[in-house]
Amino acid sequence: NAGVTQTPKFRILKIGQSMTLQCAQDMNHNYMYWYRQDPGMGLKLIYYSVGAGITDKGEVPNGYNVSRSTTEDFPLRLELAAPSQTSVYFCASSYSTGWAGSYNEQFFGPGTRLTVL
Amino acid sequence: TQLLEQSPQFLSIQEGENLTVYCNSSSVFSSLQWYRQEPGEGPVLLVTVVTGGEVKKLKRLTFQFGDARKDSSLHITAAQPGDTGLYLCAGENYGGSQGNLIFGKGTKLSVKP
């Protein structure tokens, strides 16, 4: 199993450009997540999905969009890149029933380092 | 808003020393996870603790969940350079959104040979 894969690994964007960060998992996990990690700030949840066709906002969704058309893929779209979106982006997945006794243990991809100039 | 406070933020020690990292909150969590993240990589799950007072050992790492399920600690015995990395705690609360995790800001550990 490849686990969680992310592309690209690095990207530099100009202000106002758009791009899609790709994320795929081959573990048949139902939950998928997008986080951003800024220096000294831990991980902040951008969007998450509990299954194909279902997405919801996390803590910092502004400036981003997601879709989940399949169980495996969860792309993150930046429409109008801004310098404040310079960060490292991590995709994660987990299997959870949402009930007691099912723990949301997450598997992370290697990250995409994005710089907006 | 649920918060997890980790301390210390940075820790630099010599090989062979012991250390403890703390993760504290005013909120109760149904489970708490510890992750380690190495530079340029994503976090990797180390352990999940679920019962108040629970202690789990992973080789030289000992994890404890507080009796009230509001805090946790990670103790490393005889630290080695391979232990270097960012240690993140993350709490899960079934009262929250779909079991999402709340992450602390992390403790950056450097173990010098």
pLDDT, tens only, B24-58: 999 899 889 999 999 999 999 999 999 999 999 99
CA of A73 to nearest chain B CA: how many angstroms apart? 18
Q: How many CA atoms lie within 13 A of A103 on its CB side?
A: 16
- Residues whose CB falls within 8 Å of the CB of residue A4, separated by 6 or more in sequence, listed in order: A23, A24, A25, A27, A91, A92, A93, A107, A108, A109, B42
Whether the pLDDT of residue B98 is over 70: the answer is no
Cβ of B99 within 8 Å of Cβ of A104? The answer is yes
Structural contact between residues A75 and A95, judged by C-beta atoms closer than 8 angstroms: no
pLDDT, tens only, A20-55: 999 999 999 999 999 999 987 789 999 999 999 999
Structural contact between residues A104 and A41, judged by C-beta atoms closer than 8 angstroms: no
**With pLDDT > 70 as the criterion, what percentage of chain A qualifies?**
96
CA distance B72 to B48: 11
Residue of B nearest to A54 (CA): B98
Mean pLDDT of chain A: 93
CA distance A61 to B57: 37
Which of B41, B100, B104 shows the shortest C-beta gap to A45?
A: B100
**A34 beta partners:** A47, A91
How many contacts (CB atoms, under 8 Å) link A and B? 67
Residues from chain A that touch B104, judged by Cβ atoms under 8 A, are 42
Phi, psi of B81 (to 5 degrees): -55, -30
Q: Would you place residue A99 in the very low, low, confident or very high pLDDT band (cuts 50, 70, 90)?
A: low
Phi, psi of B83 (to 5 degrees): -80, -10
Touching check for B40 and chain A: CB below 8 Å?
yes
pLDDT, tens only, B78-90: 999 999 999 999 9
Mean pLDDT in residue range A88-113: 87
